Structure 1
Amino acid sequence: MSSRKIGLVALTALVFSSMVGSGVFSLPQNMAQVANGSALVIAWAITGVGILFLAFSLLYLSRQFPTLEGGIYNYAREGFGELIGFCSAWGYWLCTTIGIVGYVVIAFSALGMFVDSKEHIIFGEGNTLYAMIGSSIFVWLIHLLVSKGIKEAAIVNLIATIAKIVPMVVFIIFSFIAFKLDLFKFNFSDLSLQVPVWQQVKDLMLITLWVFTGIEGAVVLSSRAKNRNDIGKATVLGVVVALVFYIMVTVLSYGVLSRTEIAGLHNPSMATILTHLIGLPGTIIITVGLMISVASSYLSWTLFATEIPFLAAKNGAFPAIFLKTNTNNVPIASLWLTSIVVQISLIAVCFFDKNYNNLLLISSVMILLPYFLVSAFYLKTSLKSGHTKHIFIASIATLYASWLIYAAGLSLLMLSGLLYAFGLIIFFYSYIKHKRKLSEI
C-alpha cells in the first residue's frame, strides 16, 4: 500500500526521471538556436558547477534539518518566514504544473512526425485540437494512477526510467560513431548568430536550468523516504547521471550537423538527428523513448505538484481543503487541483496556439525564486555555524541562483512577478483563515 516508504533506487529514479523528461529530446535544437559550440561548452561548465553545488546544498540541508519535510517549501519558510515560504511553494507548484503541460505538448508534437503531412496537420506542435484531446486522456489516466498511491506510482516510474535510458544510449553511440571533429570545430567558432558569446551563454541559462528542474524531487518527497540519508544521495546521483547524458547529447550533436541545420530541426530534434544517421528506425527509437520519458517524468512531476499544496496547507499557507487525503494516503485535493489546472492549460495552449518553448520559459522562470531561497537558506545557516566548507558550497550555489535570475531577463521576471502577485491573494486568504481557526481553539 501507499504507506510503504520509497528506497534509494526509487528516489534516485524519481530525481533522474523528473529532470530527464521531454527536454533532453529537444535540447540540441533549443541550444543550437541561440548558441555556437563555444557558448555551449561555457554554459555547460557554469551549469555543471552551479547545479552540483545546488544539489550538495539540498543534500546537506536534508541532513541538517531532518524534520523539515518537503524541503523546497519548508526551507524557505524556516529561513525567511511564512510569506516567503508560500512564495516558494507557489512558484514551485506553478513550475511543476506548467512543466507537465509542456511534457504532453512535446509528446504529441513527436507523434506528429509520423502522422502529419503538409496537407493534413493532426498533432502539429502538440497544440491542435486532436493533440488536446489525446493529451487530456493521458492527463486523467496519470491522475488515476497517482490516486492509487505514491509508492505504487514510484515503482512504475522506476521501470519507465530504466526503459527511457535506452534510446538516449542509442543516440549517443551512433552520434559518437558519426562525430566529425572538423564539423565540431566549425560549430565551435560559428559567428553566424552575430551575438556576443557571453550573451549566447546567458540565453542558454534557462534552457540548461529547465532540463535540471526536478533536482529537488527527493527532498519534496522526503516525508516518504525509507531512509533520510537517501534523500541527499539520490539528489546528487540523479544530477551527475543527468549531467553526463545532457553534455554528451548536445556536444555530439554539434559534430553531426551544422549549428544552423540543428537550429532549424523540428522538435524533438534528437529524433531528426538520429533519422539522419540511421533512417526511419531513428525516428521510431527516439519517439518511443520520448513517450516513455514523458510518461515517467509527468508522473514524477505530478507527485511533486501534488505534495507541495498539501505540505503548505499544514501551515495555513494554502487553503485547508488541500489537507484532504484519500484511502491510499494521497493528497487527493492537491491532485485534483493539479490535474484541473493542467487540463485548462492544455485548452489554452490549443486555442492560443502556444508551443513547447513558451511553456519551457514560463516553467523555468517560476523555479528561479525557490532555487534561490534554498541556496540562500543554506548560506544563512552556514554563516551562523561558521563552517568553512558549508559556507563555500552555499556561496557558489547562491551565486549560481542569482546569475540565473539575472540571465532570465526583465520580461520573464515581470511575468513571474504577476504570477506571484496572484498567488498572494491565496496566501492572505488562507493564512488569515488559518490564524482565526487557531485563535478559536
Structure 2
Amino acid sequence: MTVTEKATTQKLTLVTMTMMVVGGMVGAGVFSLPRRFAEETGVIGALVAWTIAGTGMLMLAFVFQNLAMRKPDLDAGVYAYAKAGFGEYLGFFSAFGYWASACVGNVTYWVLIMSTVGAVVPALGDGDTVLSVVLSTVGVWVFFYLIQRGVKDAAVLNRIVTIAKVVPILVFVLLALFALDPAVFADNLRGGTDVGSLFEQVKGTMLITVFVFLGVEGASVYSRHAKRREDVGRATVLGFLAVFAVFASVTIVSYGILPADEIAQLRQPSMGGVLEAAVGDWGMVLVSVGLIVSVLGAYLAWTLMAAEVLYVAAKDDDMPRFLRRTTHGDVPFAALLMTTVLIQVVLIVTYFSADAFNFALDLTSALSLIPFLLAAGYALKLAVTRESYTEQPRGWGRELTVAVIAVGYTIFLLVAAGPKFLLVSFIVYAPATWLFVKARREQGRRLFSAPELVILAVSIVGAVAGITALAAGWISI
C-alpha cells in the first residue's frame, strides 16, 4: 500500500463532513447579509427571498443526497454528475467552473478581512488598496503552505474552527433579538426608499443567497473520504438546515435595529455596524473577531474543495496529468498550487474593480450556476429515464419532483444573475478549454466531437461578447 493509499484510509465521519458543509457555507457572506438585503428589499421581500432560496437550495441538497445514494461510484459530486449526465466536455466545464467559483469566492474572504481591519487601519481602505492586496497575498501563500499538512489534518482543524466561528453569529442573533425595536421593524417591512417591485426586490437578493449557500455540496466533493457512503447525503442536508436557520435569522433581526436605508449604507461587514448600533462599540469588535475566524476557516475549506475537484478530474483524464500529483498527506499538490495562483490573479484584478467585494461575490455565484444546473439536470435525467430505479424503485416520484424544482430554481438564478455576470463567466470559461485539449492530447484522442465543437463555439462567442461589452463600457467590473 502506498503512502497516499494509507492516507485515504483515514475516513471522515458524519460529524466531520457536516462540519465541513457548515464550514464551507459560513464564511464572508453571512457578515454582509444585512447591507446586501437592505440595499434591495425589506422584511417582506427578505422573507419571500429566503423562502425561495431555502426551498431551492434544499432541493439541491436533496439532489446531492439522492445522487450520492443512486450513484455511489461517482466522486467529487458536482463535476462527476455533470460528466455522467452530459458528456466529458460539459463535465470539464462543470469542474472548471466550480473550481473557479471557489477560487473567486476565496478572494472575497481576503477583501472582507482587510475591509474589517480597515476600520482601524485606514490604509487598508475597503480591502481594495495596494497594502491590502499585499497583505492578502501573504495570507494566500501562508495558507498554501499550511494546507500541505494533509486532508485529514485540515478537516479536523476545520471542524474546530467551524464551532468557534458559529458562536459569535449566534450571539449576534440573540443580542439583536433582545435589542429589536418593533417600531423600526414595522417601518422596514417594505424596505428603503429606493426599492422596486417585490419581484425586483427578490431577484436582487438571489446572487447573495447563492453565495452564502455555496458549500452545500461540500460533503459530496469529499465523498471519496467518507467512512460511510450514506453519511454524504446526511451531512449535506443537516449542514444546510443548520446554516439556513442562521442566515435567515441574521437577515431578519437586523431590520429591527436600524432603518433599512441606514443599513444599506453601512460599511462591510455590515453585521458589525448593526450590532454596534444595538449594543455599542464592543458589538463591532465581537463581529470583527468572529468574521476573521469565520473567513479563515471558510478559506481553508474552500481551498481544499477546489483542489479536490481538479485532482479528481485529472484522475478521470478530464484534466492534464500534472494535476494528479499528491503529497504524502494526500493533498493534491499541483491542484492546490494552481488554485492558489488563480486566487492570487483574481485578488490583483479586484484592485481595479469599483466594488471589489460585491464584484467577487456576484461572480462567484454566477460561476457556480452552470455546475449546479448540470448536477440538477442529471438527477432529472435519471428520474425521467428511470436509470438506477429498476433495482431501487422506491422514492422515484419524490426524487423526480425534487429534481424538477432544483432545475427550475437554478434556471431562475441564471435569469436573476443577468447578462453581465454570465458574459464575464464566459470570459473565464472559454480560455480554460486549453486544459481540456491538453488532457485529450495526452491520451492521443480526438480533441472534440461534433456536439463538443458546438459547445466550444458557444463559449467562444460568449467570451468575445463579454470582452466586447467590457471594452465598450456596456458592462463594468
What is the TM-score of this pair, normalised by structure 1?
0.95
Partner of 2:259: 258
CA distance in 2, matches of 1:194, 1:333: 47
1:9 aligns with 2:18: no
CA distance in 2, matches of 1:216, 1:16: 10
Structure 2: tracts of 5 or more residues without a match: 1-5, 390-395, 447-477
CA distance in 2, matches of 1:344, 1:413: 20
State the shift of 1:349 in Å: 2.3
CA distance in 2, matches of 1:352, 1:176: 36
Partner of 1:119: none
Partner of 1:338: 339
* Cα pair 1:127 1:353 within 8 Å, conserved: no
Q: Summarize deviations over 1:101-150 as a string: whole Å, max 9, x none.
A: 1111101111111222xxxxx11111212212221221122112211100
State the shift of 1:2 in Å: 4.1
Query: Which stretch of the first structure deviates more once superposed, 106-115 or 66-75?
Result: 106-115
CA distance in 2, matches of 1:190, 1:29: 12
Partner of 1:359: 360
CA distance in 2, matches of 1:255, 1:171: 13
Tell me, what secondary structure is at the counterpart of 1:267? coil
Tell me, what secondary structure is at the counterpart of 2:124? coil
State the shift of 1:417 in Å: 2.0
CA distance in 2, matches of 1:156, 1:315: 29
CA distance in 2, matches of 1:38, 1:434: 55
* Cα pair 2:38 2:191 within 8 Å, conserved: no
Q: 1:343 to 1:419 in 2, by over 3 A?
A: closer
Tell me, what secondary structure is at the counterpart of 2:266? coil
Q: 1:22 to 1:2 in 2, by over 3 A?
A: farther
Partner of 1:284: 285
CA distance in 1, matches of 2:409, 2:334: 35
Q: Summarize deviations over 1:155-198 as a string: whole Å, max 9, x none.
A: 11111000011111111111101112222221112461251110
Structure 2 counterpart of 1:289, one-letter code? G
Q: 1:95 to 1:260 in 2, by over 3 A?
A: same
CA distance in 1, matches of 2:414, 2:125: 32
Partner of 1:381: 382
CA distance in 1, matches of 2:261, 2:354: 25
* Cα pair 2:177 2:253 within 8 Å, conserved: yes
1:52 aligns with 2:73: no
Tell me, what secondary structure is at the counterpart of 1:317? coil
Structure 2 counterpart of 1:426, one-letter code? L
Query: Which stretch of the first structure deviates more once superposed, 383-392 or 275-284?
Result: 383-392
Structure 1 counterpart of 2:421, one-letter code? L
Partner of 2:461: none
> Which of 96, 100, 111 is residue 102 of structure 2 equivalent to?
96
What are the equivalent positions in structure 2 for 1:385-396 lying under 5 Å apart? 385=386, 387-396=396-405
Partner of 1:397: 406
* Cα pair 2:38 2:192 within 8 Å, conserved: no
Structure 2 counterpart of 1:258, one-letter code? P
CA distance in 2, matches of 1:171, 1:6: 31
* Cα pair 2:192 2:260 within 8 Å, conserved: no
Higher relative contact order (CA 8 A, sep 6+): 1
* Cα pair 1:72 1:220 within 8 Å, conserved: yes
1:430 aligns with 2:418: no
Aligned residue-pair number = 433
State the shift of 1:353 in Å: 5.8
Partner of 1:303: 304
Q: Summarize deviations over 1:400-426 as a string: whole Å, max 9, x none.
A: 111111111112112212222122232
State the shift of 1:34 in Å: 1.4
Partner of 1:418: 427
CA distance in 1, matches of 2:42, 2:7: 47
Structure 2 counterpart of 1:30, one-letter code? R
Q: 1:128 to 1:254 in 2, by over 3 A?
A: same
Structure 1 residue runs of 4 or more that deviate by more than 6 Å after TM superposition: none
State the shift of 1:56 in Å: 0.6
State the shift of 1:82 in Å: 0.2
State the shift of 1:348 in Å: 2.6
> Which of 75, 93, 117 is residue 87 of structure 1 equivalent to?
93
Partner of 2:207: 206
State the shift of 1:35 in Å: 1.5
Tell me, what secondary structure is at the counterpart of 1:72? helix
Partner of 1:185: 186
* Cα pair 2:116 2:288 within 8 Å, conserved: yes
Tell me, what secondary structure is at the counterpart of 1:420? helix
CA distance in 2, matches of 1:140, 1:126: 18
Root-mean-square deviation (CA, aligned residues, Å) is: 1.6
CA distance in 2, matches of 1:351, 1:35: 29
CA distance in 1, matches of 2:177, 2:161: 25
Q: 1:138 to 1:2 in 2, by over 3 A?
A: farther
Partner of 2:465: none
Partner of 2:158: 157
1:20 aligns with 2:29: no
CA distance in 2, matches of 1:377, 1:184: 43
CA distance in 1, matches of 2:171, 2:34: 16
1:271 aligns with 2:275: no
What is the TM-score of this pair, normalised by structure 2?
0.88
Identity value in percent: 38
1:171 aligns with 2:180: no
State the shift of 1:382 in Å: 1.1
Query: Which stretch of the first structure deviates more once superposed, 183-192 or 267-276?
Result: 183-192
What are the equivalent positions in structure 2 for 1:322-333 lying under 5 Å apart? 322-333=323-334
Tell me, what secondary structure is at the counterpart of 1:211? helix
CA distance in 2, matches of 1:305, 1:191: 38
Structure 1: tracts of 5 or more residues without a match: 117-121
1:71 aligns with 2:77: yes
Structure 2 counterpart of 1:323, one-letter code? R
1:107 aligns with 2:113: yes
CA distance in 1, matches of 2:398, 2:295: 38
* Cα pair 2:23 2:301 within 8 Å, conserved: yes
